[in-house]
Amino acid sequence: MVRVMENKISDWDDETLDPDDWDELTSLGHEMLDDMMGFLKNIRTHPFNWPTESAINEIMVPLTDEGDGEKEAYELFKRSILPYTGLVVKPQFWGFVVGTGSPFGMLTEMLLAGVNYFEESILISKYTYKQALNWVKELLGFPEVTGGVFVGSGSEANFTGLAVARNAKAKEDMKTKGIYEQPEKMVLYCSDQTHECIDRSVELLGLGNEALRWLPTDENYVLKTSALTKAIFEDRSKGFYPFCIIGNAGTVNVGAFDDFKALRKIADKENMWLHVDGAFGSWIKLSETHRHLVDGLEQVDSLAVDFHKWMNSPFTLACTLVKDRLAHYSTFVYGHEAEYLKSVVEFSQDQLENHGFLALPLSKPAYGEKAYMLLRACGKDKYRRLIQKNINQVNYLAELIENEPNIELTAPVISNITCFRYVSDGLSEEELDKLNHLILGDMWNINCCMISDTTIKGKYTLRVCNINHRTRKYDFDWLVGEIKKSGEKQLKQLK
């Protein structure tokens, strides 16, 4: 062994990442807090900017040996990062399915980064985690016995649920034998409105994306159960093994919901697993007027649900609920080789609640505490009101659109999404697509990704997905005005 020789080379024993001057860093911290609170407080008027060349030049530099110091790094953040972040926190942001975070969420992140938890099955985290999960189950109407795990994203939550489904339903032990030694090819089913992360999960689980059967939806974008039973029957007769149905609670394009009671019946009859991607839509359970859309959701085998979407937690936080806790644990538990983790397992007592072992990553941020703090601070009614308000607002937007001769709805307004396009007599479908794409560009120049676009059943469309707690109805009056202005301008240039 080579020893560090005293006096020849320093052993850096005093070196840490703590500040030399705690008062100085504390005062920088206060400044950062004041600035970020001011930023959020005034976000309505905050202008969006595309990154300038000088900002990019300032960012793309070689890493120095000495570093710039915390104060300088923060000055750089204010000067060349913050002004060019996409302003998803603005009241006028309805692109993709992106939550807006909250000031208290930001503060919670600071607290949890301070204690830097990595493991949530021992000490007080065990209780905050368990209680947060209990609250999620209660809010979504799931039975108390349901197990679950907090993870980093909706994609990961779906992956987790589908991994359990695959292992639980495999005819040969999946953990030891793998996918190759299954007697039949395992296949699974979803609607043509399903999010692409399901496809990715299926691929990563080694099933091959050909195993995922995309089935047609009806005029309300609900999976056609007749098509599902037919596909299962045909697959069985060809020697495939149908093992899982994937439903949607809130499709990404139009916010549609499958018929969970009907899917449950089919899954029971066919002895299949029922997984639902409810990344944002599960929370509609909290609305007064639309909660019927998730009737039967509590009967599924596993559910993926996000916090960083409609619950507006800071990125990232999601959850997988799984009914069969043993199947969940067995899928992810480490093998005999993880000697160094055995004491943690002993301390956590209930093996099935050992949250460190219920998803792919071992080290994770303090997801349980984060969910706990946000739910504890806001309670149920705040979220109930916010979710209802977003639904009311997209219906208001739809009314505005219906009163506009040059804008039309392109899909039914089912939950919190309004799809529409600008139209003008005499334009072909191709020209309309081009026109609306140009309008999207104009909107993105106001605030990047402020609204998004998609193609639904072959039709290009603009799309507002409203999970924004800061939006007011008058923001949609403004949006319709901007769409009209842009449509008229682009139309002139097209002609």
Ligand X SMILES: Cc1ncc(COP(=O)(O)O)c(C=O)c1O
CA distance 42 to 55: 23
Instruction: Write out the H or E segment, with its range, that includes residue 244.
Output: strand 241-248
In the bound state with ligand X, the residue whose beta carbon lies nearer, of 228 and 279, is 279
Say whether residue 375 binds ligand X (CB under 6 A).
no
Contacts of 11 (CB under 8 A, 6+ apart): 4
Q: What one-character-per-residue DSSP string does 83-120 give?
A: GGS--TTSSS--STT-----HHHHHHHHHHHHHT----
Cα separations in angstroms, 275 against 4, 102, 246: 57, 30, 5
Site map for ligand X, 167-196, x if CB under 6 A? ----------------------------x-
Query: Given the rule CB under 6 A, which of 151-159, 266-274, 342-350, 361-369 is the region that contacts ligand X?
Result: 151-159
Say whether residue 222 binds ligand X (CB under 6 A).
no
Say whether residue 201 binds ligand X (CB under 6 A).
no
Token readout for 111 is 């607290």
In the bound state with ligand X, the residue whose beta carbon lies nearer, of 97 and 244, is 97
> Taking the complex as a whole, how short is the minimal distance between the CB of residue 325 and ligand X, in angstroms?
23
CA distance 37 to 478: 26
In the bound state with ligand X, the residue whose beta carbon lies nearer, of 97 and 373, is 97
Helix axes 196-204, 154-169, angle to 10 degrees: 50
Say whether residue 353 binds ligand X (CB under 6 A).
no
In the bound state with ligand X, the residue whose beta carbon lies nearer, of 157 and 400, is 157
In the bound state with ligand X, the residue whose beta carbon lies nearer, of 97 and 202, is 97
Say whether residue 97 binds ligand X (CB under 6 A).
yes
CA distance 293 to 241: 30
- Judge whether 213 and 229 are in contact, CB under 8 Å: no
In the bound state with ligand X, the residue whose beta carbon lies nearer, of 170 and 366, is 366
Site map for ligand X, 263-282, x if CB under 6 A? --------------x-xx--
Beta strand 452-456 with 459-465: parallel, antiparallel or unpaired?
Answer: antiparallel
> Taking the complex as a whole, how short is the minimal distance between the CB of residue 95 and ligand X, in angstroms?
10
Instruction: Figure out which of the listed residues 202, 252, 294, 387 binds ligand X, where binding follows CB under 6 A.
Output: 252
In the bound state with ligand X, the residue whose beta carbon lies nearer, of 88 and 232, is 88
- Judge whether 291 and 300 are in contact, CB under 8 Å: no
In the bound state with ligand X, the residue whose beta carbon lies nearer, of 96 and 240, is 96
In the bound state with ligand X, the residue whose beta carbon lies nearer, of 155 and 447, is 155
Token readout for 276 is 């639902």
Token readout for 147 is 């197990």
Beta strand 212-215 with 241-248: parallel, antiparallel or unpaired?
Answer: unpaired
CA distance 258 to 220: 9
> Taking the complex as a whole, how short is the minimal distance between the CB of residue 372 and ligand X, in angstroms?
20
Query: Given the rule CB under 6 A, which of 152-160, 340-348, 396-404, 424-432 is the region that contacts ligand X?
Result: 152-160
Beta strand 273-277 with 212-215: parallel, antiparallel or unpaired?
Answer: unpaired
> Taking the complex as a whole, how short is the minimal distance between the CB of residue 347 and ligand X, in angstroms?
31
> Taking the complex as a whole, how short is the minimal distance between the CB of residue 278 and ligand X, in angstroms?
8
Token readout for 267 is 């899954």
Tell me the β-bridge partners of 246: 275
| Chain residue whose CB lies nearest ligand X | 154
> Taking the complex as a whole, how short is the minimal distance between the CB of residue 280 and ligand X, in angstroms?
6
- Judge whether 331 and 307 are in contact, CB under 8 Å: no
Helix axes 429-446, 473-494, angle to 10 degrees: 130
In the bound state with ligand X, the residue whose beta carbon lies nearer, of 253 and 348, is 253
In the bound state with ligand X, the residue whose beta carbon lies nearer, of 200 and 291, is 200
In the bound state with ligand X, the residue whose beta carbon lies nearer, of 154 and 314, is 154
Size of the site for ligand X (CB under 6 A): 14
Say whether residue 153 binds ligand X (CB under 6 A).
yes
> Taking the complex as a whole, how short is the minimal distance between the CB of residue 345 and ligand X, in angstroms?
29
Nearest to 186 by CA among 211, 168, 163, 209: 211
Site map for ligand X, 291-330, x if CB under 6 A? ---------------x-----------x------------
Say whether residue 155 binds ligand X (CB under 6 A).
yes
CA distance 25 to 151: 32
Instruction: Figure out which of the listed residues 99, 147, 154, 368 binds ligand X, where binding follows CB under 6 A.
Output: 154
> Taking the complex as a whole, how short is the minimal distance between the CB of residue 338 and ligand X, in angstroms?
27
Instruction: Figure out which of the listed residues 89, 164, 188, 197 binds ligand X, where binding follows CB under 6 A.
Output: 197
Which residues 453-472 are close enough to bind ligand X by CB under 6 A?
A: none
- Judge whether 275 and 246 are in contact, CB under 8 Å: yes
Q: Phi/psi of residue 327, each to 5°?
A: -60, -40
99 Cα distance to chain centroid: 8
Site residues, ligand X (CB under 6 A): 96-97, 153-155, 195, 197, 250, 252, 277, 279-280, 306, 318
